[in-house]
A and B are shown apart, each in its own frame.
Chain A
Amino acid sequence: MKKALFLSVLALSSLAAAEIRVGVIVSATGPAASLGIPEKNTVALLPQTIAGQPVVYTVLDDASDTTAAVTNARKLIQEGKVDLIIGTTTTPASLAMIDVVAEAKVPMISLAASEGIIKPVDAKRAWVFKTPQTDALMAAAIVQHMVQNKVRTIGYIGFNDAYGEGWASELKKNAAARGLKVVAEERYGRSDTSVTGQILKLVAARPDAILIGASGVPAVLPQKALKDRGYAGKIYQTHGVANADFLRVGGRDVEGAILPAGPVLVADQLPGTNPTRKVGLAYMNLYEAKYGKDTVSTFGAHMWDAGLLMQKAVPAALKKAKPGTPAFREALRDALEGTRNVIGAHGIFNLSATDHLGLDARSRVMVQVVDGTWKLLPSR
């Protein structure tokens, strides 16, 4: 079925000659589906023409699986003859795709978090860009907030997978740099029915604050258990929980949680002088007009930002070559690398030959769960 759809898209796309072909890979199923589905939905909102040239999108699902992502990337390049790949959702799969796109010399914009996807910019990563903030950027924000609030000792509980490991190492790196101490470190599984043991041990270590390194609704469980045990310190979450379902499922149990997030999460609370406010609100309105109220999430906005980078780069590349040629892909890569001051929903992109993300501290805000909704915390 997927194959048939793919072939029919191919058949259609071979009718017109000069259109720009964009291959999209997202994790619409599997463990990363809660990120991949809004990303997939956002593709439908991307422009159908850029600088007068039609754009054809081919969307494939990698089921949160690394092998499938690589296969899809090959398929898009060899059969789809794409000029650009956007995706994929997860870090391991994005890392695996680097070799494929570098070999074929097709630019790729990843939607995954890890810094390792774009750093260091070597011969292979020269073809790879990404739009989401790195965990490093977000962890630095958390630790900065902790320092400002006189936190000295930190407890950590996170997923027993790549997500939890990544956050544990970022936290320790940042905490050490600012003179904070991580006094307890625990792990739990996404589908665990109880975290009583871990929480007992965490609370016994008496940290001033606890960071929960988890994403989506499973991040509710440790916070509920901490409340049940009467933990009175600050509780931090990661930006992986920044969607409406976390609030719906968490309810009273997640009240007071502090987390870093892309500004799009609280776009309507941003001051009018913040340039990302307008872009964020525009994206949210567009998304909710198509998919219904309260359906928008920050993850889809990464796809939107990738689309903005593409819209800026394509006209420049069109001046140099025709779509579908190696020269066009090369020009597109150069244009992406030369991106300056593109205002996205998540921040302002200024890329360079050494930085293929190009976001700075303006790409994150600290928010708190207050009365069952996100509240922007004043930045100091």
Chain B
Amino acid sequence: MQIFDPSIFPILAADGLTNGAVYALLSLSLVLVFAVTRVIFVPLGEFVVFGTLTLAALQLGRVPGTLTLVLILLGLAALMDAAGHLRRRQAGRAALTLGGALVLGGCAWALTHWLAPLKPPLPVQVLLTLALVAPLGPLLYRTVFQPLQNATVLVLLIASVALHLVLTGVALVFFGPEGSRTPPFAEGNVTLGQVTLSTQSLLVMLVSALLMLALYLFFERTMPGKALRATAVNRLGARLVGISPSAAGTLTFTLAALIGALGGMLIGPSVAMTYDSGFLIGLKGFVGAIIGGLVSYPLAAAGALLVGLIESFASFSLSGWKEVIVFTLILPVLLWRSLATRHTPEDEE
């Protein structure tokens, strides 16, 4: 077969692994979010889009619309917190919350408006993008999912789909209907044996691998990481030993937003990202996560790499059917999982 031609196979494999690495990051955060908060996080793709488009806006020296969204959500979250304090008759703390939000929002506003027109070097823009997109995670958790903490998985899924639609609309308003591309972090090619790889795709794989290692260390070696794992294993038990589910949720969503934004900046140079591109990209990460049964991190990452590889080879041999092939993959996996695992009734808390 033509696919196994030595001049073609390595190129396709490298391409598949590059995309697969980004999908793997997304599938890891999907598994993480589901394990800790039971939310099937459909809007993860939107964080990818916000990551790319925010960086693209900064490239043009514009103030990205992400700032407005962060400020609105910050205001909303502060109001919700303050209302909670007032209900407990703690007017002082309510004022403190609102004041803190005001100061924080003001700082964010001033910093972005100062930095954006200066067109700072790429690393600064990347950091600013992360600083703008990452807060979306905890703020969305506070305003949307925390009030639904005790709802069923189905209700959380519905909220999640709704949030996806809202964020797509918001992205259209802030970034316009046309897409953008970001500049590559590295130009040029690297030759490894017979294969020539672009430095950018090598960088994508390297950053993804490093990030996965960092996540592993975080979960194995640090206290907050262990707390997240404990919450994932048993929410009630974790609460009994003093781990706040809200704090765990906030941390999880921060990580998800951070990973999403990073993923967006990694693939930004190779795709013309439009406001509605996120869903399909997130869905491919989701296929990976399903292969891991939404519980296993290594299986999810491996599944996502597989998705990337299949996508790459399918695009060569049967490009018209590529999407069909990738998403059909989910059927045998679901069949196998439903036969292989014993059914336990969903634990109601």
Contact = CB atoms under 8 A, between A and B. Distances in A.
Interface of A: 29-31, 33-34, 36-37, 157, 160, 186-198, 200-201, 204, 216-221, 228, 243, 245, 249
Interface stretch (B29-37, B62-70, B91-99, B176-184): B176-184
A196 B11 contact: yes
A29 B169 contact: yes
Interface stretch (B75-83, B123-131, B267-275, B296-304): B267-275
Contacts of A192: 271, 315
Contacts of A191: 271, 273-274, 276-281
Contact of A221 (B22, B178, B272, B323): B272
A195 B272 CA distance: 12
Contacts of A219: 272
Interface stretch (B12-20, B143-151, B222-230, B253-261): B12-20
Contacts of B316: 196-198, 200-201
A192 B15 CA distance: 12
Contact of B281 (A160, A193, A198): A193
A249 B181 contact: yes
17 contacts: A157-B319, A160-B323, A187-B322, A189-B280, A192-B315, A193-B281, A194-B18, A194-B270, A194-B315, A195-B315, A197-B314, A198-B316, A198-B319, A200-B316, A204-B8, A216-B179, A217-B178
Contacts of B11: 196, 200
Contacts of B231: none
Interface in B134-182: 169, 172, 176-181
A191 B312 CA distance: 14
Contacts of B8: 200, 204
Contacts of A195: 315
A218 B274 contact: yes
B109 interface: no
B181 A220 contact: yes
B313 interface: yes
Contact of A193 (B22, B177, B314, B320): B22
B49 to A, nearest CB: 9
Interface of B: 8, 11-12, 15, 18-19, 22, 169, 172, 176-181, 198, 267, 270-274, 276-281, 312-317, 319-320, 322-323
Contact of B181 (A36, A190, A216, A217): A217
Contact of A188 (B273, B278, B279, B319): B319
A189 B323 contact: yes
B222 to A, nearest CB: 32
Chain B CB within 10 Å — which of A36, A191, A216 has the most?
Answer: A191
B36 to A, nearest CB: 28
Given A33-B172, A190-B274, A196 B315 contact: yes
Given A33-B177, A194-B19, A245-B178, A217 B272 contact: yes
A190 B277 contact: yes
Nearest to A34: B177
A218 B12 contact: no
Nearest to B324: A160
Contacts of A157: 319
Given A188-B319, A194-B315, A196-B12, 16 more contacts: A29-B169, A34-B177, A34-B178, A160-B319, A187-B319, A187-B322, A191-B277, A195-B315, A196-B312, A198-B315, A198-B319, A204-B8, A217-B274, A218-B274, A219-B272, A220-B272
Nearest to A196: B15
B276 A194 contact: no
A72 B177 CA distance: 22
B306 to A, nearest CB: 16
Contact of B315 (A36, A188, A220, A243): A188
Contacts of B15: 194, 196-197
A160 B270 contact: no
A87 to B, nearest CB: 17
Given A197-B12, A217-B272, A37 B177 contact: yes
Nearest to B8: A200
Nearest to A198: B319
A242 B246 CA distance: 49
Given A191-B281, A200-B8, A249 B319 contact: no
B180 A249 contact: yes
A189 B322 contact: yes
B272 A249 contact: yes
B274 A197 contact: no
Chain B CB within 10 Å — which of A36, A157, A189, A193 has the most?
Answer: A193
B5 to A, nearest CB: 9
A160 B315 CA distance: 11
Given A33-B177, A220-B181, A249-B180, A193 B271 contact: yes
